[in-house]
């Protein structure tokens, strides 16, 4: 996906009834909501007012939602959490741009509240892209710069280390809905692509 992405980290598996309720809720502000062959949904946010983003145009910004099939939590060191997530639902924008970042943040925060989930931010906030493949100096400086940026924002945010496929320890932010709502109001707000 060329646009930003985030994950909903659930502590209880979403039942079929829970998934149907989520699809129904999405249908109140997204048109169309279409199942995708192989799993997941494609949605187009028609009216962002119900999710607190009424000032953002929605219609042309498609998103994809799908359950992550891999056990992604095996690579994360989630020691700062009372319990480990058991399911991940990835939400990703098909297109880049400021509106896509805001339209990703608002429904992700709303869904996190509805589902009692945390939000995986796909990297360190304050950085335009996941730092995979950047130089060692930039990767080494990134956590301190990110800590300085998110330190005074309301809600809970954790800097979570993980070991990437190439054996390098990297970091991502994991936050609660309250933090995401505060981050959405921050002048440097953006999600990670």
Q: Which of 36-45, 64-73, 164-173, 175-184 has the lowest mean pLDDT?
A: 64-73
Average pLDDT over residues 156-176: 86
Terminal Cα-to-Cα distance of the chain (whole angstroms): 8
Q: DSSP 3-state assignment of 33?
A: strand
The answer to whether the CB of 93 falls within 8 A of the CB of 15 is: no
Query: What pLDDT shows up at residue 31?
Result: 85
Q: Rounded distance, CA 37 to CA 116, Å?
A: 27
pLDDT tens-digit map of 34-82: 999 988 999 998 888 888 877 776 566 789 999 886 666 655 666 667 7
Rounded mean pLDDT, 122-151: 78
Mean pLDDT of the chain: 85
Query: 């400086």: which residue's tokens?
Result: 141
**How far is the C-alpha of 181 from the C-alpha of 156, rounded, in Å?**
11
More confident residue, 20 or 1: 20
176/89 Cα distance (integer angstroms) = 15
Q: What is the pLDDT of residue 109?
A: 96
How far, CA to CA in Å, does 50 sit from each of 27, 128, 138? Answer: 11, 27, 39
Domain ranges of the chain: 5-184
Question: Residue 1: pLDDT above 60?
Answer: no
Spatial strand order of the sheet with 169-175 comes to: 30-35, 41-45, 62-67, 87-93, 5-10, 118-120, 169-175, 157-163
Give the C-alpha separation, 189 to 182, whole Å.
9
pTM comes to: 0.90
């Amino acid at each position: 996906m060329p646009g930003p992405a985030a994950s909903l980290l659930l502590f209880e598996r979403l039942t079929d009834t829970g998934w149907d309720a989520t699809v129904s809720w999405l249908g109140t502000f997204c048109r169309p909501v279409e199942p995708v062959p192989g799993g997941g949904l494609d949605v187009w946010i028609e009216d962002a007012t119900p999710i607190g983003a009424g000032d953002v145009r929605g219609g042309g910004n498609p998103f994809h939602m799908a359950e992550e099939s891999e056990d992604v939590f095996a690579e994360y060191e989630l020691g700062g959490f009372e319990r480990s997530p058991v399911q991940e639902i990835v939400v990703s924008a098909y297109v880049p741009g400021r509106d896509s970042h805001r339209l990703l943040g608002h429904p992700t925060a709303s869904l996190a509240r509805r589902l009692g989930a945390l939000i995986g931010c796909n990297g360190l906030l304050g950085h335009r892209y996941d730092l995979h493949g950047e130089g060692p100096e930039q990767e080494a400086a990134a956590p301190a710069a990110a800590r300085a940026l998110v330190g005074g924002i309301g809600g809970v945010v954790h800097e979570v280390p993980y070991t990437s496929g190439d054996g390098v320890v990297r970091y991502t932010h994991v936050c609660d809905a309250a933090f995401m709502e505060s981050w959405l109001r921050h002048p440097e707000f953006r999600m990670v692509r």
